[in-house]
C-alpha cells in the first residue's frame, strides 16, 4: 500500500467540505441541499463515481468553484468521494443539510484552512485515511483570547 498526501487547491476565502457518499444521485441531492440552505449561496460540487464509467460528476452555482471541486476530487482520486467548495456561506450554515443527504456516509472535514488529504492507494483503488486541517495549536487560550472569541461569535450573530 502506498500513502499519499494530497494538498487541496482552493481560493483562500473558500470553505471546503470533503466527505464520502455511495451513489451517483449524491451530486444532485447535494446541489438541492445547498441551494435550499442559504440564499445566494455560491458553490461547486464534485463526486467521484466508483464503478461503471468512474467519472467525476459535478454541478454548482459558480463555475470557478465547480472547477476547484472537480480538481480536488480528481487529485484525491478516491471512489465515492465528494468535494464541496463553498462561498457566500459557512459550513455551519449547510453542514446539517449535507449530512442529512441520504447518500452521505461521512464528512471528513469542513474548513476554510489549508487542507491536505491523506490517501491510501492499493491496486486500482484509493481511500481517504484522514485530513490535515490548518496548523497545529500554538498555545492555550487566555482570558483576552476568550473575550475575543466571545466577541467574534456575537458579532457574527451566532451567540447573543
User: Tens digits of per-residue pLDDT, 109-142?
Assistant: 999 999 999 999 999 899 999 999 999 999 999 9
pLDDT band at 158 (very low <50, low <70, confident <90, very high): confident
DSSP assignment of the chain: -EEEEEEPP--TT-EEEEEEE-STTHHHHHHHHHHTTSTT-EEEEEEE--STT--EEEEES-HHHHHHHHHHHHHH--TTEEEEEEESS-HHHHHHHHHHSTTEEEEEEEESS-EEEEEEEETTEEEEEEEEES----S---HHHHHHHHHHHHHTTS--
pLDDT at position 157: 86
Mean pLDDT of the region 5-20: 96
CATH code of 136's domain: 3.40.1520.10
pLDDT band at 58 (very low <50, low <70, confident <90, very high): very high
As a whole number of angstroms, the distance between CA 106 and CA 57 comes to: 18
As a whole number of angstroms, the distance between CA 122 and CA 77 comes to: 12
Stated length of the chain: 160
pLDDT higher than threshold 90 for residue 83: yes
Residue 107 CB burial class (10 angstroms; 0-12, 13-18, ≥19): middle
Share of the chain above pLDDT 90, in %: 92
pLDDT at position 89: 94
pLDDT at position 156: 85
Torsion of CA 122, 127, 129, 133, to 10 degrees: 130
Question: How far separated are the first and last CA of the chain, in Å rounded?
Answer: 50
pLDDT digits (tens, 9 = 90+) for 97-108: 999 999 999 999
- The domain tally of the chain equals 1
Domain with 43, as residue range(s), is 2-155
Asked if residue 81 belongs to a domain, the reply is yes
pLDDT higher than threshold 90 for residue 11: yes
Count CB atoms within 10 A of the CB of residue 152: 11
Average predicted confidence (pLDDT) for the chain? 96
pLDDT higher than threshold 90 for residue 34: yes
Asked if residue 160 belongs to a domain, the reply is no
Amino acid at each position: 500500500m502506498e500513502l499519499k498526501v494530497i494538498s487541496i487547491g482552493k481560493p483562500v476565502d473558500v470553505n471546503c467540505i470533503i466527505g464520502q457518499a455511495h451513489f451517483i444521485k449524491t451530486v444532485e441531492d447535494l446541489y438541492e441541499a445547498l441551494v435550499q440552505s442559504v440564499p445566494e449561496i455560491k458553490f461547486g460540487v464534485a463526486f467521484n463515481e466508483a464503478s461503471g464509467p468512474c467519472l467525476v460528476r459535478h454541478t454548482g452555482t459558480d463555475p470557478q468553484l465547480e472547477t476547484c471541486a472537480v480538481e480536488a476530487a480528481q487529485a484525491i482520486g478516491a471512489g465515492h468521494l465528494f468535494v464541496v467548495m463553498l462561498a457566500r456561506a459557512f459550513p455551519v450554515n449547510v453542514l446539517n443539510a449535507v449530512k442529512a443527504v441520504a447518500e452521505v456516509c461521512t464528512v471528513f472535514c469542513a474548513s476554510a484552512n489549508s487542507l491536505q488529504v491523506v490517501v491510501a492507494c492499493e491496486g486500482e483503488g484509493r481511500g481517504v485515511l484522514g485530513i490535515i486541517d490548518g496548523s497545529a495549536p500554538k498555545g492555550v487560550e487566555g482570558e483576552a483570547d476568550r473575550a475575543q472569541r466571545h466577541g467574534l461569535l456575537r458579532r457574527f450573530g451566532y451567540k447573543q
